[in-house]
Amino acid sequence: MQGTGSRATKSRENLFCQLKDALGAHSHGEGTVFYPALRENVEMGVLIHGATEEHREVENLLEDLEELGSESEEWGAKLAKLKKRVLHHAKEEEGEMIKKAKEILGKEEVQRLGKDFQDAKKQTTAG
């Protein structure tokens, strides 16, 4: 999303909107499908609490980026911080959280939740 000039600015703004929508849909899917299924387990509850806090951090960074505008000098640094936070969140989920979910719920249930998660994301982006 780097570049200069009005064309680059417009492109960054469009890409940012796509990123914001994708992250919002992902967060919605996790919050409505995946997390509720695992919250009852004490160990998973701790992980989910941390993941929920990370969602709030990402939402705050997205709001900051939107308020700053892509022409701001601070925008690139804020975007880098967002990227770092999202990658950290994804690494934790795809590592420890999914592994533990399979142990608790079983592989088939996690696969079903994965499908429901994708459906929830699609509903968010369609609506």
- What is the pLDDT tens value at each position of the chain, 127 positions in all? 555 567 777 888 899 999 999 999 999 999 999 999 888 888 888 889 989 999 999 999 999 999 998 888 899 999 999 999 999 999 988 888 889 899 988 999 999 999 999 999 988 877 5
Torsion, Cα 43 109 95 65, to 10 degrees, reads -90
Judge if pTM exceeds 0.85.
no
- Judged on CB neighbours under 10 Å (0-12, 13-18, 19+), 38 is buried
